[in-house]
Chains A and B, each alone.
Chain A
């Protein structure tokens, strides 16, 4: 049939090549995903460089500067890690839920509730101002985890019990969470009319490297805080849950094949609720870590969309808890570097291009590209 169409002279001229995408039936070689991702970043940088050049800039020097601004010295690397800390935790929150195919889009809201829960300990106050940090911080961690877990429980319960789509409920609950926080910032805990609570007492701050600058001068100005350690511990815990525990096996089985899981007698209702709660708890911990490690007071604009970036991070790290850490560092660097060129529109666009390229490159891992010469088809 194809032979005919090519040889028939009456037909209009057609492009001599066709590009076809065929599903990969065999696993690509080890080096291939690496090459593809690397190529995607390179492609994005070239594209972004074109944008910079079009806008009248020098791409090479701009990139050099961006790199220096997020990895160039101990100080800026510390800033990168500070940005990465909440991303690690929300990334883990998303990765865990996604592994069971629960699409928790609500990490942002759970983040805000975690921040609220931790703040409540200081602001209600549940503990007196002069409590020792050894009690203060664990209680705040628990409060943040609890508040996030409650925010995760609601959509989890609705999903498990009434089969309400969790994408919609978690997404909508983000708005409720922000409004909830705003209510307390504007009305209850406002400091003299300003939209923020008073500053937390020093003993309710997560310890930072900079706090030990007196003993170790190198730490001066390094704001990396205990939250990073919490994030790394959380990565180990999530990994252990998913790959070394019976419960994790259930989660993965339900995610991969819910029908089989049901026949195997797994309690899907209970697992849905539990996974949403743990996912919410992780995001809540992120909120707690940010509010007690960086912001030190309850206020608006505590998140430049960490919860949503968490979705992308979980996805790019292929839902692997350990991969979440370096991917978060990369995103932390991107957020930080975004400040380095003014006006601020261009770096944001480059971030977007890198992101889209990385996500799109995933396609090449699952499909192979074949260029077919017209008339040579078999």
Chain B
């Protein structure tokens, strides 16, 4: 009886596989011909035999792979094909949505380009398979938009030399077809820190909170930028930190924000992907600073949002690759590229209600600094220029010295080739938290 069952199951599965592959192989043959050729016979056949199966099959052979509201990551012959791999859903209201809008911008602004995306891709082994599968399909340019995609992309890049891979937020590149890309969000966090400090001071509760994702250089750098800005407008302010160990988890983000507010924070920043922090601020009557996406700062209790504007950056890279002028490497853009924004202060935006009643001199200072940033006169290195002391009283950078790029994105002693002098493993003065000791 048992042996019988095995054969049933096996034969069932084989049959299932056969049926599936039978369905699958049919449509694969036509796309090998040029698209024009496949459409022509379908058109001539259709009027000849209205009831013939050929006629009903014709629409399924159309080369366009957009299926109604769905999007299937498939290339279009003759176009420059760009794929985006997203860590969260494309409409997460934060990080991934900002990238998705970058995709839409590329589709609309770069001629003869075809874009596709895959969302909810976990970091690690799963992502390697995704990158390989997209490469196999023949995408020309693949953006990976989370830190943990770095090594999988590096591996796949070595297997597919004809595809270009751009990784956002890491630190590796092979300088041929695997490049690194990130932007000086610290500049915008610095300005938001100034606003938040002024807000907390005006409310008479000089306490900020920062929900950081993982203890990596990026998150420490952004936290320090907030604290440096905060100290500029509110010298007596302090900032508490919570590690949430996730990039995208609306529940955990909510809980962490609530925990910071309950611990007394007046304004809380998020380093994670969703606008949960502002929703909690709304409930508690405090202030939240969202992140990543220009549309994330919607509720009344959202103070501002430092955000990414990936469109022009991505379009520039895609166009540069089409023209053969862009070489992947370490591409770190400042605010003057238009890739960064501070909600309420950019062109066409109104300051939020929480910002409007701040002291006018603070708003003026933020405006003028932002103008300098957009003009390229004030960069990330000016944010991290001495004197800076850490929260234990040590001088990190003396007067007159500035951070260099490895100092911004490396722990001591820095990756090989990216050795740092000051490094990013300290909390700025005013942060009431400690970093875990580095074990290596």
Contact = CB atoms under 8 A, between A and B. Distances in A.
Do A and B interact?
yes
Interface stretch (A102-110, A127-135, A319-327): A319-327
Nearest to A220: B159
Interface in A190-220: 190-196, 199, 210, 220
A323 B9 contact: yes
A344 B89 CA distance: 8
A51 B136 CA distance: 29
A195 B411 CA distance: 14
Contact of A79 (B132, B159, B216): B132
A193 B438 contact: yes
Given A60-B60, A67-B20, A341 B70 contact: yes
Nearest to B85: A339
Nearest to B415: A192
Given A320-B2, A339-B130, A68 B24 contact: yes
A223 B12 contact: no
B28 A57 contact: no
Nearest to A41: B16
Interface string B54-78: 0000011000010111111110000
Given A55-B70, A62-B70, A190 B439 contact: yes
Interface in B104-120: 116-120
A342 B15 contact: no
B71 A342 contact: yes
A61 B64 CA distance: 11
Contacts of A187: 436, 439
B390 interface: no
B151 to A, nearest CB: 7
B70 A64 contact: no
Nearest to A61: B60
Contacts of B116: 342
Contacts of B4: 30
Interface stretch (B121-129, B299-307, B323-331, B360-368): B121-129
A188 interface: yes
B133 to A, nearest CB: 6
A94 B2 CA distance: 18
B21 A344 contact: no
Nearest to A30: B4
A65 B6 CA distance: 29
B209 to A, nearest CB: 21
Contact of B124 (A73, A186, A193, A301): A301
Contacts of B74: 65
Given A326-B14, A342-B118, A304 B21 contact: no
B144 to A, nearest CB: 14
Contacts of B214: 193-195
Nearest to B156: A221
A318 interface: yes
A56 B20 contact: no
Interface in A48-62: 52, 55-58, 60-62
Interface residues of B, number: 71
| Contact-size category for A | 35 or more
A342 B119 CA distance: 7
B54 to A, nearest CB: 15
A342 B70 contact: yes
A323 B6 contact: yes
Interface in A122-164: none
Nearest to B13: A326
A312 interface: no
B17 interface: yes
A279 B241 CA distance: 43
Contacts of A326: 9-10, 13-14
Nearest to B122: A301
Contacts of A339: 73, 118, 121, 130, 133
Contact of A343 (B60, B89, B133): B89
B353 interface: no
Contact of A57 (B67, B128, B151): B67
Given A79-B133, A192-B415, A304 B17 contact: no
Contacts of B119: 342-344
Contacts of A68: 24-25, 27-28
B60 A58 contact: yes
Contacts of A344: 89, 118-120
A69 B126 CA distance: 15
Given A56-B69, A301-B122, A71 B21 contact: yes
A317 interface: yes
B9 A71 contact: no
28 contacts: A55-B68, A56-B68, A57-B70, A58-B60, A60-B23, A62-B72, A64-B24, A68-B25, A69-B133, A70-B20, A71-B20, A73-B136, A186-B245, A194-B216, A195-B245, A220-B159, A221-B136, A223-B129, A302-B124, A304-B122, A318-B2, A320-B5, A329-B13, A330-B13, A330-B17, A341-B67, A341-B70, A342-B70
Interface of B: 1-2, 4-6, 8-17, 20-21, 23-28, 59-60, 65, 67-74, 89-91, 116-126, 128-130, 132-133, 136, 147-148, 151, 159, 214-217, 245, 410-411, 415, 425, 436, 438-440
The 5 A-B pairs with the shortest beta carbon distances in the complex, nearest first, are: A56-B68, A67-B24, A67-B20, A56-B69, A68-B24
Given A38-B12, A72-B21, 18 more contacts: A38-B15, A52-B70, A56-B69, A63-B20, A66-B20, A73-B136, A75-B132, A79-B132, A199-B151, A223-B129, A301-B148, A318-B5, A320-B2, A323-B9, A330-B17, A340-B72, A343-B70, A344-B120
